[in-house]
Amino acid sequence: MDYDKIIKDNEKMIWKLASHFYGIDKNDLFQAGVVGLLKALKNYRNNGNTKFSTYAHDYIFGEMYLLSSNKNIKVSKDILNLYKKIEEARYSIAQRIGKIPSNLELSEFLNLSLDDIEYACSSASLILSLDSENEDDKDMYECLGKSEDLDTKILIDDSFEVLTDDEKKIIKSRYFEDLTQSEVAKKLNMTQVMVSRYEKKSIDKLREYLSV
């Protein structure tokens, strides 16, 4: 395998990702990016659904992030604003059609290129994911403000009927499988922002049901 060619083919992306960091030597960031690229290459399986460059993005960014001891990450306002716009559209469409729209559907809806959609989502959501690695796990009963007795557990199980399929999956993953929001996002092919929104809405629904 020609590793030099693979690095050369992807060096533009590596340098672009390095530009999101400051206070760190760019050459050091590039070398960290190459490590991430080679890790991605080792794990990549070409199934026709994901381009290698898209798959490698998180590996490259992750290695650069680890290099940044003070975690001073610089993300352009344009990327953050685009990400916010994409997430608002994703949530709005999901509420209307009853399922999470794909990036391709978002691309067509927002009249943006698929590459722009994937780059903005990957950059912003990875930062959110890395920044929330130490998020506190919450107990379902504590979150709902209820006592942990058998009757309450049965009532909570019944209350799941008020949730949509996606909401059920998120609540079960978060509170019964003890997964973090970032882990749930990967499992359900969502973004962490989507998981957070659905989780909050689901808890509100359950609270309302239990208060009747």
What does the pLDDT look like over 160-200, one tens digit per residue? 778 888 888 888 888 777 788 888 888 888 777 788 888 88
**3-class SS letters over 48-109:** CCCCHHHHHHHHHHHHHHHHCCCCCECCCHHHHHHHHHHHHHHHHHHHHHCCCCCHHHHHHH
The per-residue pLDDT for range 31-52, each reduced to its tens digit, is 888 988 988 888 888 776 778 8
Q: Are 94 and 167 in contact (CB under 8 A)?
A: no
- Given a cut of 80, whether residue 59 has pLDDT beyond it is yes
pLDDT at residue 29 in the model: 87
At 11, the pLDDT band (50, 70, 90 cuts) reads very high
- Phi first, then psi, for residue 176 (nearest 5°) are -110, -25
- Given a cut of 60, whether residue 128 has pLDDT beyond it is no
- Given a cut of 80, whether residue 155 has pLDDT beyond it is no
Q: Out of 90-99, 117-126, 144-153, which region has the weakest mean confidence (pLDDT)? A: 144-153
Average pLDDT, the chain: 75
Q: Which CATH architecture has domain 3-67?
A: Orthogonal Bundle (1.10)
Q: Is 140-211 in the same CATH topology as 3-67?
A: no
Q: Where are the domains of the chain?
A: 3-67, 77-131, 140-211
Does the reported pTM lie above 0.75? no
- Phi first, then psi, for residue 18 (nearest 5°) are -65, -25
pLDDT at residue 151 in the model: 44
Cβ-Cβ contacts under 8 Å for 63 (sequence gap 6 or more)? 32, 33, 35, 36, 39
Alpha-carbon span 210 to 154, nearest angstrom: 11
Q: Where is pLDDT greater, at 97 or 147?
A: 97
pLDDT at residue 5 in the model: 87
Q: Hey, what CATH topology would domain 140-211 get?
A: Arc Repressor Mutant, subunit A (1.10.10)
User: Helix (H, G, I), strand (E, B), or coil: what is residue 21?
Assistant: strand
Q: Write down the CATH number for the domain with range 77-131.
A: 1.10.10
